[in-house]
Amino acid sequence: MGKNILMISRDNLIFKDGSDVRVRMAEYGALVKRLDIIVFTRKNSVPSVKRGQSIKILENVYAYPTDSKNGLFFIPDSLKIAKLIEKPDIVTAQDPFEAGLSGWLIKRSLGAKLQIQIHTDFLSPFFRKESLVNRIRVIIAGFVILRANCVRAVSLRIKESVKKKFGIYNIEILPIFVDVKKIRETSATEDLRRKYPQFDFIILMAGRFSIEKNIPLAINVMKDILKKYPKTGLVIVGNGPEEKNLKFKSEKMKDNIIFESWSDNLISYYKTADVFLLTSNYEGFGRTIVEATASSCPVIMTDVGIAGEIIKDGYSGFVIPVGDKETLKEALLKIIRDKFLFNDFVSSAEYMTAVLFDKQEYLETCKRSWEKCAF
């Protein structure tokens, strides 16, 4: 594809040598003539690269930090950088919020096409209720999406909600890539049951410790679970702004609720846990759900993200209403009590086949989505 692509991103890991996201940028670069990536960063957060400078990932792939004083300067700083680099044919923004608004301004200024990626279920009522910033973001998203040349969503749930709200029908679904084959072929190197032999049953959670993940729901349910099954353990892997608050809430159950720092390699945990639990108020996709399912770990999740697409209630897992403590408790008690149900939890390969890709197919789909946007 002989096109110049400009990507607007928030992921600072692009500047970390060897990171998964940096490897992915190199793979994208192999698909196009040139790939420039402007990354929203705060001043001095990437000490090795200053504003106006770049890192070279490949001969045709460059990443630029905005090195902004604060978040208010992300958009004007990204516009300044865009005017100094080679003119893009397509601007692809990794969210419809600040990155999307930046992409629209660059589109207007440089005459490029605009692709908006939607990774967050921003039309969920729980997203709007979470903060004033999120309510403003919903307004920005509506403005930007209606002015984009093409829109890409990570799940059917997002596609349908955007289509209903804005009357946009030409929305492409491209899930987040998960190497399902690699997960299935990887053997567990660390056994949660051996690591925590005091537990007869282990519930695993993994993700960012943030408000929308609603981890307090799981902690509250554990109070009831432990009354009947005192040797149940909840292992929560992650980090984030809510960590201190979550540890405080679980202090009285610290022998049964274990916190571990985030790890990029959770395959062993998925494969040796008894059930994977996700209690989010909203999700765009739910990468951990796919990873757990690919590991043949039963799943209990709220009705968010890819619930209904990959996780079918009562088949490959249980899907419960958002925030419903009683239904969550019933689902957990049923799995703990009726262990024979594990034999009925299959890896739902037929669902995955419908929405996931192998690596090469995924990259080719990305390329086609840019080609369509260019016309």
- Rounded to the nearest 10°, the torsion over CA 183, 184, 188, 194 is 110
User: What mean pLDDT do residues 187-193 have?
Assistant: 91
What would the pLDDT profile of 48-98 be if each residue is shown by its tens digit? 787 778 999 999 999 999 999 999 999 999 999 999 999 999 999 999 999
Helix, strand, coil percentages, rounded to 5, for the chain: 45, 20, 40
**Residues 72 and 89 both lie in one domain:** yes
What would the pLDDT profile of 12-29 be if each residue is shown by its tens digit? 999 988 888 999 999 999
What would the pLDDT profile of 143-181 be if each residue is shown by its tens digit? 999 999 999 999 999 999 999 999 988 899 988 888 888
**Residues 256 and 213 both lie in one domain:** yes
**Residues 172 and 209 both lie in one domain:** no
Beta strand segments in the chain, E: 4-9, 34-39, 55-58, 61-65, 90-93, 113-118, 150-153, 171-173, 201-206, 232-237, 257-260, 275-278, 299-302, 317-320
What is the pLDDT confidence band of residue 358, given thresholds at 50, 70 and 90?
Answer: confident
CATH number of the domain encompassing residue 205: 3.40.50.2000
Read off the amino acid at residue 30. Answer: A
**Residues 52 and 69 both lie in one domain:** yes
In the three-class reduction of DSSP (H, G, I as helix; E, B as strand; rest coil), residue 276 is classed as strand
Total number of domains constituting the chain: 2
**Residues 317 and 189 both lie in one domain:** yes
**Residues 46 and 184 both lie in one domain:** no
Dist. CA 367–CA 364, nearest whole Å: 5
**Residues 173 and 269 both lie in one domain:** no
**Residues 320 and 258 both lie in one domain:** yes
In the three-class reduction of DSSP (H, G, I as helix; E, B as strand; rest coil), residue 54 is classed as coil
Dist. CA 98–CA 79, nearest whole Å: 12
**Residues 108 and 188 both lie in one domain:** no
**Residues 195 and 341 both lie in one domain:** yes
**Residues 163 and 82 both lie in one domain:** yes
Owning domain of residue 154: 4-177+357-373
**Residues 39 and 75 both lie in one domain:** yes
Apex CA 208: angle with CA 12 and CA 212, to 5°? 115
